[in-house]
């Protein structure tokens, strides 16, 4: 499964920043050893259902250290029997884009 998630405290620091809390969540993802990718809005993790959800829970717990309220957004692609899709999905689209001229 691929699971894209965004987790942050409901309120930032005095400047409104949530960067420290988000960094704590991303640290949890990196330490998990699962394939992952972080973009400006989401972190995507690839693995089996239980291991991916355990990472999300630990990331939420890490963010919870910064605020009494946590916001979590999830989006999942559940496709049993497929692995390596974090890169493969993008490669398939890029291949199609390189094979056809722009309109």
| DSSP secondary structure string for all residues of 17-63 | --HHHHHHHHHHHHHH-S-EEE-SS-EEEES-HHHHHHHHHHHHHHH
Is the predicted pLDDT of residue 12 greater than 90, yes or no? no
Percentage of residues in the chain having pLDDT higher than 90: 84
* Stretch 27-42: mean pLDDT: 97
Global pTM value: 0.86
Between residues 54 and 18, the one the model is more confident about: 54
Residue whose token pair is 């496709």: 79
Q: Sketch out the chain's domains with CATH numbers.
A: 2-99 (3.30.70.930)
Percentage of residues in the chain having pLDDT higher than 70: 96
């Amino acid at each position: 499964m691929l699971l894209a998630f965004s987790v942050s405290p409901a309120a930032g620091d005095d400047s409104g920043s949530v960067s420290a809390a988000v960094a704590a969540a991303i640290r949890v993802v990196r330490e998990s050893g699962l394939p992952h990718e972080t973009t400006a809005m989401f972190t995507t993790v690839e693995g089996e259902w239980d291991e991916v959800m355990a990472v999300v829970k630990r990331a939420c717990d890490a963010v919870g250290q910064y605020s009494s309220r946590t916001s979590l957004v999830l989006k999942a692609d559940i496709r049993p029997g497929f692995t390596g899709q974090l890169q493969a999905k993008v490669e398939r689209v890029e291949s199609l884009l390189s094979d056809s001229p722009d309109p």
